């Protein structure tokens, strides 16, 4: 017999496919790989003794067996969530899941220090880390797939529903050969940088940097 935690994960992934009508979208929503989602659903079908999805249709449709199991799975996970909430209320501590989107370069040193305190003070909050490039993080945040996003610059679009906080500041440094025209200019360079091509790994960073330089020049 399967362990209870294995059965619960099968239910979570199964319902993710039901709700998104896609194995790929279910994998993204649950932060699992698509092969893992497919394997778990296939294993659940073997245990159930029947096909749960009609894969001949697009989007996927539940079979009669799949619909019946989905109802049971929702009740099981709903009762589990209700039990967790009831116990958290008794403890009067925060409880839940927070998905933190981050980009690779600063995360190795910065994120562990940030999460160290909450891990001790609010141990019932689970933090799921989601690593992506900045454009992918922006899209995931806008779609509600992540709750908190770590990015190198302020968000390009500010709205009343979006809050941001500066966590650290770093100087913006231009690297050029000593014979470059910029070498003859006094610092800070500001708007002068915008006149030259910029090499950067990030797709949107040069445009944002030039905008910041222009704003600094106006001040």
Quickly list DSSP for 94-162: --EEEEEEE-HHHHHHHHHHHHHHHHHH-TTEEEEEEE--HHHHHHHHHTTS-SEE--SS--SS--TT-
Fold of 4-89: Arc Repressor Mutant, subunit A (1.10.10)
pTM (predicted TM-score): 0.46
Give CA torsion, residues 142, 148, 152, 154, to 10 deg: 60
pLDDT of residue 1: 41
Give the helix/strand (H/E) hosting 54. Answer: strand 53-54
Joined tokens for residue 91: 């403890």
Contact between residue 93 and residue 125 where contact means Cβ atoms under 8 Å apart: no
The rounded distance, in Å, linking the Cα atoms of 217 and 212 is 9
pLDDT of residue 71: 92
Place of tokens 């968000």: 155
Indicate if 93-149 has the same CATH topology as 4-89.
no
pLDDT digit string, tens, across residues 23-79: 888 888 888 888 889 999 998 998 888 899 988 877 778 999 999 999 999 999 889
pLDDT of residue 200: 65
Tell me phi and psi for residue 90, to 5 degrees: -65, -35
pLDDT digit string, tens, across residues 140-192: 887 778 888 888 777 766 666 778 888 877 777 778 888 888 888 877 766 66
Tell me phi and psi for residue 83, to 5 degrees: -65, -40
pLDDT of residue 52: 92
Give the helix/strand (H/E) hosting 62. Answer: strand 61-62
CA geometry: angle at 102 spanning 97 and 108, to 5°?
A: 105
In the chain, where the domains are located: 4-89, 93-149, 181-218
pLDDT of residue 83: 85
- The model's confidence at residue 137, banded by pLDDT at 50, 70 and 90, is confident
pLDDT of residue 70: 92
pLDDT of residue 125: 78
Joined tokens for residue 182: 């910029």
pLDDT digit string, tens, across residues 75-131: 998 898 888 777 766 666 666 788 888 887 766 677 877 777 776 777 777 888 888
The rounded distance, in Å, linking the Cα atoms of 206 and 172 is 11
CATH code at 93-149: 3.40.190.10
């Amino acid at each position: 017999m399967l362990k209870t935690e294995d059965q619960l994960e099968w239910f979570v992934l199964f319902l993710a496919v039901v709700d998104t009508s896609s194995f790929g979208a279910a994998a993204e929503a649950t932060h699992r790989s698509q092969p893992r989602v497919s394997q778990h659903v296939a294993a659940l079908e073997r245990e159930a003794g029947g096909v749960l999805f009609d894969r001949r249709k697009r989007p996927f449709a539940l079979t009669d067996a799949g619909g019946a199991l989905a109802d049971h799975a929702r009740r099981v996970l709903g009762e589990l969530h209700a039990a967790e909430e009831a116990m958290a209320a008794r403890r009067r501590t925060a409880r839940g899941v927070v998905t933190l989107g981050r980009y690779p370069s600063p995360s190795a040193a910065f994120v562990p220090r940030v999460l160290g305190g909450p891990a001790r003070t609010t141990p019932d909050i689970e933090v799921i880390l989601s690593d992506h490039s900045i454009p992918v993080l922006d899209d995931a945040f806008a779609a509600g797939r992540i709750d908190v996003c770590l990015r190198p610059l302020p968000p390009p679009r500010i709205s009343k529903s979006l809050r941001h906080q500066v966590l650290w500041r770093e100087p913006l440094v231009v690297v050029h050969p000593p014979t470059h025209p910029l070498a003859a200019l006094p610092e800070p360079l500001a708007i002068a940088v915008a006149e030259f091509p910029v090499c950067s790994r990030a797709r949107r960073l040069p445009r944002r940097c030039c905008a910041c330089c222009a704003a600094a020049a106006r001040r």
